[in-house]
Structure 1
Amino acid sequence: MTPIEGFGAAAPDASRPMRADARRNRARVLEAAEAVFAAEGVGAPTEAVARRAGVGIGTVFRHFPTKEALLEAVLVERMRALVEHARRAAEDDEPGAALFGFLERVVEQTATKHAFADALSGAGVDVTEVVRDVRAALLAAVDALVARARAAGAVRADVGGAAVVAVLVGASHAALWAPDEPTRATAVRVILDGLRHAP
């Protein structure tokens, strides 16, 4: 990835801690990017992100020298949010409801995640490498969530984290192929219901 022309500085040195105002600006840019890309798609201009964040375009490029760098950061932040959601859900008093609520949230985000991944892949970015660490954290969090739901008798005894992830992939593809929202909801429910413990 090449820095945007006119803002050719390298990405901020990760070994040096950012000042508090720089951290706030970076967080604002990420929050704005999440909202703009969700509303307008990943093709939305970086200038729209800067406007929503209330910062200059130079501030955006100081933190994210390329559009791809910004997309990478938003994708990773979305996955980190899922990790935190899974960890909180694993502490819920109703493990079964917590697990299925988490799975439904993941499926709801599928289309957006695919859009980010497709845009990055199209720019020559190795998406697998970008999300490697956060993906490992997510799988560990899902394992813990599934283990609690299984211990509570909410899911089948033969279901583990890897099986749930495989089911999620199937449910996510079904959601993308469904022609309308009622069909999507039914298809996803049918697939996820296969994880439930049969009385």
Structure 2
Amino acid sequence: MRADARRNYEQLLEQARIAFAEFGVDASLDEIARRAGVASGTLYRHFPTRLDLIEAVLGKQIAELVALGRDLLTGNDEFDALTTWLRATLTHGLTYRGVAAAAMNTALEDRMSSWHAELFEVGTALFVRARESGVVTAGVDEVDVLKLVGAIAWAAQDSADQADRMFTLLVNGLRYAG
């Protein structure tokens, strides 16, 4: 990809991320192109369909969450590493209104499954590390907690304060109190 095409692509992804966070995944594609400083045709050349753009934005965000998790695996504070990653995962889940409906589209189903597997892999690694160090209650199932984070994002999608309160309850329940 030429440097200017790469720049346009990245600017479209960034502006789509912002617009999806503001207006949901049904945000105006023409407005995204305008914000990116390109013509609508440039957007459609890179992303022929809305679903292509959603997939690209989500793919980038998932890759960032996975990279964050892997980086946190090397930190000294296992509980902080786990809760930092869970908080980032919650923030991601709160960001994109309408993404669940878009994800139900069969065209994204396989990709979503792959993304979930990547997230569960790094989340499990963070949990195992925290459990082995004794900072997380032994009986906690990481799959349950990861699903709870998703449930918090869904239940509190219109209230960051509510999401924060529910997340705090979850985190307090994870910490080993022995």
TM-score interval (norm. to shorter) = 0.7 to 0.9
User: Secondary structure, in 3 states, of the residue corresponding to 1:198?
Assistant: coil
| Aligned residue identity for 2:39 | G
Q: Which residue of 2 aligns with 1:196?
A: 175
- Confirm or deny that 1:105 pairs with 2:81: no
- Structure 1 residue 132: Cα displacement: 2.6
Please give the residue correspondences for 1:32-47 in structure 2 after superposition, counting only pairs within 5 Å: 32-47=15-30
- Confirm or deny that 1:87 pairs with 2:70: yes
User: Secondary structure, in 3 states, of the residue corresponding to 1:34?
Assistant: helix
User: Secondary structure, in 3 states, of the residue corresponding to 1:150?
Assistant: helix
Sort the Cα spacing of 1:181 and 1:85 in 2 relative to 1 into closer, same or farther, 3 A: same
Query: In angstroms, what is the RMSD of aligned CA positions?
Result: 2.3
What residue ranges of structure 2 are gaps of 5+ in the alignment? none
Q: Which residue of 1 aligns with 2:119?
A: 138
TM-score, reference length from structure 2: 0.85
Q: Which residue of 2 aligns with 1:96?
A: 79
- Structure 1 residue 143: Cα displacement: 1.6
- The answer to whether the Cα contact below 8 Å between 1:36 and 1:44 also exists between their aligned partners in 2 is yes
Q: Which has the higher contact order (CA 8 A, sep 6+)?
A: 2
User: Secondary structure, in 3 states, of the residue corresponding to 2:140?
Assistant: coil
* Percent identity of equivalent pairs: 34
What residue ranges of structure 1 are gaps of 5+ in the alignment? 1-17
**Cα distance in 1 between the residues matched to 2:35 and 2:162:** 34
Q: Which residue of 2 aligns with 1:161?
A: 142
In our comparison, the structure showing a higher alpha carbon Rg is 1
Please give the residue correspondences for 1:22-41 in structure 2 after superposition, counting only pairs within 5 Å: 22-41=5-24
Q: Which has the higher helix share?
A: 2
**Cα distance in 1 between the residues matched to 2:10 and 2:19:** 14
- Structure 1 residue 180: Cα displacement: 4.7
Aligned residue-pair number: 178
**Cα distance in 2 between the residues matched to 1:68 and 1:141:** 26
- The answer to whether the Cα contact below 8 Å between 1:107 and 1:171 also exists between their aligned partners in 2 is yes
- The answer to whether the Cα contact below 8 Å between 1:90 and 1:98 also exists between their aligned partners in 2 is yes
**Cα distance in 1 between the residues matched to 2:115 and 2:99:** 15
TM-score, reference length from structure 1: 0.77
- The answer to whether the Cα contact below 8 Å between 1:79 and 1:138 also exists between their aligned partners in 2 is yes
